[in-house]
Structure 1
Amino acid sequence: MTWNYKTPGIPDELFDRTENVPITKEDIRSIIISKLRLREGITAIDIGCGSGSITVEISLQTRAKVFAIDSDMDAINLTEKNLTKFGVLNNAVIIHGRAQDVLPTLPMVEAIVIGGTTGETDRIVKLALSKLNKGGRLVLTSILIETIYNALKAMQESNLQDIDITQVTIAKSKKTSSGTMMISRNPVIIFSGTK
């Protein structure tokens, strides 16, 4: 097995990656997984699965069905490759398509993570919530100011409980010829709430 630990935050370098498909970095991924409050056996949806890193982490934590959605075929192929690499392909249903079209066809689940809204934040949040069981957790991440504004508005209008907004700024070390320096990554806003 590629990852023999119960803790989230699989190192990024263990995932297969390509330049044109985004990956949620390991530190951010750890926080997302903690905000989802996963348990073994719960089902989940990963909207905008990208490289599949979150889908893999959810699958390892829950050992249950995870629906991974992305509109980019390269992302779908990479997600499948990473799920296979980590031995959890059988836990996942990988769906190529737009979340707006796919969500109405999916069953109810206990956890949903939204990693991309393609400018339709309000609609995707509402569709996602229509597939979330009472007491389930919704987590949404964004680096775009417009999405941040729209996500907050959509979550507040949906009467989610315990809405939490966390801004995370990570800096990682990099060796230089004279020592070690810290390189900052983009700040990420993480929204979470309970239905």
Structure 2
Amino acid sequence: MLEDMDFIKSCDVPGPTKEAIRAIILYKSEVSSTDKVIDCGCGTGGITCEFSQRAQEVISIDTNPEAIDITQKNLKKFGLGDNITLINDNGANALKDIDNIDIAIIGGSGRELENILDIIDTKLNSNGRIIITAILVDTKIEAINKLKQLNYNPKIMEVNISNGRVLDRGVMMISENPIAIITAKKR
């Protein structure tokens, strides 16, 4: 796992997704070396970098050109990127030209989550996996309802990682990146 402190960051681009969250996402994805992965809303590229080390191909999408630039810089910093395609566009537009998806990770949807899930559903291979990370309660509800409508059996896990900081009088736990991870497999 790549360490959080090693990533290039920006105030204008979310991320990277915290290391412990990336580890759970990798585990839940059941990624293999033959998988084609979509990272929709890649931010600084934390998830892109992790999956690029494990999957055959990763296509990362973000509407923010700075996010694409920082993701590219992080890939270069870690010596990754031979199997990565970066697309500066909204998820729905970019996904229209992508087929045979094994794993779709949605970390940002620009208020188009339902549309993005409709498109992914038509392009996801049998036994394909969808992983949605959500902070807003509304996004969690929207994701679960849409996945159920598409005939998936979604599962949700609320994750709150806390790291300790040693003080003179004890250890203070500091919460980082509280997030829901919603997973579903194509039947």
Interval of TM-score (by shorter of Structure 1 and Structure 2)? over 0.9
1:182 and 2:180 matched? no
Identity of aligned residues (%): 35
Q: Which amino acid aligns with 1:174?
A: R
Tell me the distance in 2 between the aligned counterparts of 1:21 and 1:190. Answer: 20
Partner Cα distance (1:47, 1:86) in 2: 21
The answer to whether the 8 A contact 2:90-2:110 is kept is no
* Structure-to-structure mapping, 1:113-124, within 5 angstroms: 113-124=105-116
TM alignment of 1:143-158, pairs within 5 A: 143-158=135-150
More displaced 10-residue stretch of structure 1: 126-135 or 90-99: 126-135
Equivalent residue number for residue 19 of structure 2: 26
Unmatched segments (≥5 aa) in structure 1: 1-8
Conservation of the 8 A alpha-carbon contact between 2:18 and 2:177: no
C-alpha separation in 1, matches of 2:119 and 2:132: 13
RMSD in angstroms over aligned alpha carbons? 1.3
Rounded Cα–Cα distance in structure 1 between residues aligned with 2:127 and 2:151: 12
The aligned residue for residue 35 of structure 1 is 28
Paired residue type of 1:180 = V
TM-score scaled to structure 1, two decimals? 0.90
Bigger drift between 19-28 and 149-158 goes to 19-28
Q: Please identify runs of 4+ aligned residues in structure 1 that moved more than 6 A.
A: none
Residue 181 of structure 2 aligns to a residue whose secondary structure is: strand
Residue 171 (1) aligns with residue 162 (2): yes
Distance 2:72 2:170 in 1: 39
Instruction: Determine the C-alpha separation between the residues in 2 that align with 1:175 and 1:78.
Output: 32
